[in-house]
Structure 1
Amino acid sequence: MPATDFQGTFGRSLLSFRRDHQVDSNTPAAGSSSHSMEAELDSFQRQVAEKFTDLNASGDGDGDGELLSLEWIGKLLDSFLCCQEEFRAIVFNHRSQISTSPMNRLISDYFERSIKALDVCNAIRDGIEQIRQWQKLSDIVISALDSRRPVGEGQLRRAKKALIDLAIGMLDEKETSLAHRNRSFGRVKDSHNHHRSMGHFRSLSWSVSRSWSASKQLQALASNLNTPRQNDVVASNGLAVPVYTMASVLLFVMWVLVAAIPCQDRGLQVNFFVPRQFQWAAPVMSLHDKIVEESKRRDRKNCCGLLKEIGRIEKSSRVMNELIDSIHFPMSEEKEIEVKQRVEELVEIHEALKNGLDPFERKVREVFHRIVRSRTENLDSLC
């Protein structure tokens, strides 16, 4: 994203801009109002910086809170909601300026972007439902290999079938047709029925059209997102800056959701860059670079989502599948112990998804409704 002449002067305070360009700024009332507004806008910038600094630090940890885990993305959505609320307050407090140029153009552009984010939220909720289907398959594996009863050939076949269905379901959608042709277990008729049932499930539950593209939607969100020009900053009394900030945060959050959760035509090739003069630029760009690096890892290149829990269930099911292939009857005690251990690992992952998906979906829904409410309030204020 090209830099503008605003970058070189960002270090100057917004108050200085107004002193240089407003003829009435030498009056006590104007000076007090100017100082109050500058403090409000600076506070917003600091809050955004603090939120993303915390996210950057917590993403370096291990366990449930690590980068791209359900817990971490939940924190990201919480941070977005906090920033959105502060931005909403700024817009409300200075609504008299929203209808004047250049703010009417800038705020209109922001809310047009926010509409595009609503489709991303819908696609993410569809992806969550897809993960729930994988949970059901993993539940079949756990039930079939229940350690409380002897494991026979029938249970192994049932677990094997569920594992293959799970592996097919977790492939990137571009590879799904090839996977069905190469399916190594079950009759061709069963494979065809599975493919048809998966298509039926998608047609009933997906709330975005079959031609919708997450990659193109992100590109539309990023289109013409440039740092505000100096004359726009001056003319808007600095309000152009929080609009740009919120638009950038919105784009980043939607980009992370698409990176983590399965959705149609995933793609992370978005030209995202924040000039380092912004207080929040360093932590946001650091997170961006970490996620891009994660997507380039050999074991994640063709995955359907970078969510940590997806990676864990994929790895666990693959190891379990290989273990089942190596079993011969009568089963040795060593194999029985190994099967039990692998089932326990799968149970742990299954429980993490079970406990994490519902709160995560509620947060995605809250983001959706908060964006809608903010846009509606803005339209009402202009009437």
Structure 2
Amino acid sequence: MIILLLLLLLYSKLGGAQLIRCPPIVSLYFCHLQDFEEVRLSDIIVTMPSTENQGSASPFVSFGRSILSIRREQIHSMEANHDPNTQESEIELFLQLISKRFHDLSVVSADELLSLAWMWKLLDAFICCHEEFRVILLNNKVQVCKPPLDRLVAEFFDRCLKALDICNATRDGIEKIRQWEKQLEIVLSAMDSRQRTMGEGQFRRARKALMDLAIAMLDEKETGSIFSHRNRSFGRHQSSKDQRHHLPGHSRSLSWSVSRSWSAAKQLQSIANNLVPPRGNDISATNGLAVPVFAMSYVLMFVLWALVAAIPCQDRGLQIHCSVPRHFSWGAPFILLQERIMEESKKRERRNSSGLLKEINQMERCASHMTDLVDSVHFPLTDELKTEAGQQVQEVTLVCEALKNGLDPLERQVREVFRKIMNGRTEGLEFLGSVNKPE
């Protein structure tokens, strides 16, 4: 005992009130205090009893209690930090994040807008905002379960459920683009002058691939449902036989397979329905939490709208009725983005396109130029035609490389969005249920 007291006095002389670690022997003696080894020595010395009043009480019991009391005060201080001011700061930072991420997306050049790289960044912005929104909900579980916030959060989760089908439809749209890219690969293989001299056989093969591509893209423009009968969910890959015996579970979207009558435009409108800015009394009743719920709901709807605009989907449509958040500071980037995307859709070369994706437009243009060349060629080839064919092949090569480099990352990002939405909804419903469950 005397040795331990001497060690403590020695530490007090060496360290003063600086932050130090208790001597190992003290930590060993108080093994139940290992988590609280880091303390201020001044606090320990102040709380240790004097030798005159020790009586039967051990000084080390008092020493241990002092450490525990310090730790309890730290914990209570941390809990108290999540006060209304902290909540207001959380909300403000979240809205600033939305404004920053979507402002960066809204000021890109015309060449970058609606490209595969831009779409990836759009989904990355959504994932980032969704994660921060999830943290806000978890930090305010009790308040989320009280009216009117419980209704607003429930409506958000309902929109999330509907969003899963659009994610599935987007993935099928990406698969359609892959099939079109394969036809361009056939054209490149046929027109590769480095391997063989270009003759009539090579041009016939290229013409057939271009015709197949034109038919596939025309069919998509007219019906929007080349692959509508076999939509795959992100939950798991299954054969049709497996799907008949599949039991419902968390991995299901609103419908396991999008039906032939499913409409991306109608699904978007159902998500946008009743999506209006919160009223003043709702904002005050929720301590401002109604605003981030509305903001995240709008971000969800907008990102899905941009996906449907860019990627081939069954029954695409850009005209949806939704209140644009003009009087919110974070709403400005969305207004600009909506205007720019609508302007793109009205351009002559985009008006009847199967998607506003930049690479789709490049594919259509290259295919059109190559078709004109193949249809007008005469044999034997002149040097001028050989040069023109080489230039067209180079353009097609660039488009194919852009598609190869961009489609896989975009599909992975769509998968991640699907998982974030599904897991966030499941987690939210679970904590809503646990808070509402009577003890």
Q: Return the TM-score normalized by structure 1.
A: 0.83
Residue 147 of structure 2 is aligned to residue 101 of structure 1: yes
Match of 2:399 in 1: 349
Q: Post-superposition, which runs of at least 4 consecutive aligned residues in structure 1 deviate over 2 A?
A: 29-32, 171-177, 201-207, 272-277
Per-residue deviation, 1:31: 10
Q: Distance in 1 between matches of 2:306 and 2:116?
A: 12
Cα RMSD of the aligned pairs, angstroms, is 1.9
Match of 2:176 in 1: 130
Q: Over residues 349-368 of structure 1, what are the superposed CA-to-partner deviations in whole Å (9 max), with x where a residue is unaligned?
A: 10110111000000000000
1:282 paired residue among 332, 339, 342: 332
Residue 393 of structure 2 is aligned to residue 340 of structure 1: no
Per-residue deviation, 1:95: 0.5
Q: Distance in 1 between matches of 2:221 and 2:367?
A: 21
Q: Over residues 80-130 of structure 1, what are the superposed CA-to-partner deviations in whole Å (9 max), with x where a residue is unaligned?
A: 001000100000000111111011100000000111110000000000110
Q: Distance in 1 between matches of 2:411 and 2:80?
A: 46
Q: In the alignment, residue 175 of structure 1 is paired with which amino acid?
A: E
Residue 203 of structure 2 is aligned to residue 203 of structure 1: no
Residue 189 of structure 2 is aligned to residue 143 of structure 1: yes
Match of 1:313 in 2: 363
Instruction: Give the secondary structure class of the aligned counterpart of 2:107.
Output: helix
Q: Over residues 148-174 of structure 1, what are the superposed CA-to-partner deviations in whole Å (9 max), with x where a residue is unaligned?
A: 111111111111111111112122635
Contact 2:220–2:312 (8 Å) recurs in 1: no
Q: Distance in 2 between matches of 1:37 and 1:203?
A: 47
Contact 1:219–1:270 (8 Å) recurs in 2: yes
Q: In the alignment, residue 349 of structure 1 is paired with which amino acid?
A: V
**Structure 2 unaligned runs (5+)?**
1-78, 233-256, 434-439
Per-residue deviation, 1:273: 3.5
Identity of aligned residues (%): 55
Residue 209 of structure 2 is aligned to residue 162 of structure 1: yes
Q: Distance in 2 between matches of 1:121 and 1:350?
A: 24
Q: In the alignment, residue 229 of structure 2 is paired with which amino acid?
A: S
Match of 1:21 in 2: none
Q: Distance in 1 between matches of 2:432 and 2:84?
A: 24
Q: Distance in 1 between matches of 2:312 and 2:82?
A: 51
1:249 paired residue among 299, 312, 316: 299
Q: In the alignment, residue 230 of structure 1 is paired with which amino acid?
A: G
Per-residue deviation, 1:205: 4.9
Q: Return the TM-score normalized by structure 2.
A: 0.73
Higher relative contact order (CA 8 A, sep 6+): 1
C-alpha spacing 1:33/1:114, structure 2 compared with 1 (3 Å): same
Would you say how many aligned residue pairs link Structure 1 and Structure 2?
330
Per-residue deviation, 1:274: 2.3
Q: Over residues 13-34 of structure 1, what are the superposed CA-to-partner deviations in whole Å (9 max), with x where a residue is unaligned?
A: xxxxxxxxxxxxxxxx999822
Per-residue deviation, 1:344: 1.1
Instruction: Give the secondary structure class of the aligned counterpart of 1:270.
Output: coil
Residue 101 of structure 2 is aligned to residue 51 of structure 1: yes
The 5-angstrom pairing of residues 222-301 of structure 1 reads 222-301=272-351
C-alpha spacing 1:260/1:32, structure 2 compared with 1 (3 Å): closer
Q: In the alignment, residue 168 of structure 1 is paired with which amino acid?
A: I
Q: Distance in 1 between matches of 2:81 and 2:288?
A: 15
Q: Distance in 2 between matches of 1:78 and 1:146?
A: 38
Q: Distance in 1 between matches of 2:205 and 2:81?
A: 75
Contact 1:68–1:306 (8 Å) recurs in 2: yes
Match of 2:119 in 1: 73
Q: Over residues 124-149 of structure 1, what are the superposed CA-to-partner deviations in whole Å (9 max), with x where a residue is unaligned?
A: 00001101100110011000111211
Contact 2:223–2:314 (8 Å) recurs in 1: no
Q: Distance in 2 between matches of 1:244 and 1:292?
A: 23
Per-residue deviation, 1:202: 5.2
